[in-house]
Amino acid sequence: MERSEVVARDKRHVWHPYTAMDAYIAGTDPLVVVEAEGPYLWDADGTRYLDANGSWWVSTLGHRHPRLVRALVEQAGRFPHTSLAGVTHAPAARLAEELAALSPGGQLPRVFYSDNGSTAVEVAIKMAAQYWAQNGRPGRTRFITLSGAFHGETIGATSVGGVEVFRDVFGPLLFDVVHVPSPAEPAGWERAFAQVEATLRAHPDEIAAVIVEPLIQGAAGMHLYAPAFLRAVREATREVDTFLIADEVFTGLGRTGARFACDLAGVVPDLLCLAKALSGGLLPFAATLATERVFAGFGGGPERALYYGHSYCGNPLGAAVAREVLAVYRDEDVLGQVARKAPRVKAAFEHMAQTIPGVTRPRALGMVGAVDLGTGGYLARAGWRVYEAARRRGLYLRPLGDTVYIAPALNIPDAALEELLAGVEASLGEVALGAG
The partner residues of 368 in beta bridges, in order of sequence, read: 365
Lay out the site mask for ligand PMP across 131-170 (x = CB under 6 A, - = otherwise): -------------------xxxx-----------------
Instruction: Pick from 156, 218, 362, 429 the residue near ligand PMP by CB under 6 A.
Output: 218
The partner residues of 114 in beta bridges, in order of sequence, read: 286
Q: What is the DSSP letter of 176?
A: P
Instruction: Pick from 122, 197, 213, 324 the residue near ligand PMP by CB under 6 A.
Output: 213
d(CA 177, CA 174): 9
222 binds ligand PMP (CB under 6 A): no
275 binds ligand PMP (CB under 6 A): yes
Lay out the site mask for ligand PMP across 317-356 (x = CB under 6 A, - = otherwise): ----------------------------------------
For residue 418, the SS3 value is helix
214 binds ligand PMP (CB under 6 A): no
Query: Residue length, the chain?
Result: 436
Q: End-to-end alpha-carbon separation of the chain, Å?
A: 33
Instruction: Pick from 131, 250, 378, 405 the residue near ligand PMP by CB under 6 A.
Output: 250
- Residue 261 vs 416, nearer CB to ligand PMP: 261
**Which residues lie below 8 Å from residue 403, measured CB to CB, with a gap of 6+?**
221, 222, 370, 371, 372, 373, 383
219 binds ligand PMP (CB under 6 A): yes
Choices 46-54, 247-255, 341-349, 361-369 (CB under 6 A): range interacting with ligand PMP: 247-255
- Residue 252 vs 362, nearer CB to ligand PMP: 252
Lay out the site mask for ligand PMP across 99-138 (x = CB under 6 A, - = otherwise): -----------------xxx--x-----------------
Written as one string, the DSSP assignment of 203-268 is -TTTEEEEEE-SSEE-TTT-EE--HHHHHHHHHHHHHTT-EEEEE-TTTTTTTTSSSSHHHHHT--
Q: Are 342 and 352 in contact (CB under 8 A)?
A: no
Interface contacts to ligand PMP, rule CB under 6 A: 116-118, 121, 150-153, 213, 218-219, 247, 249-250, 275
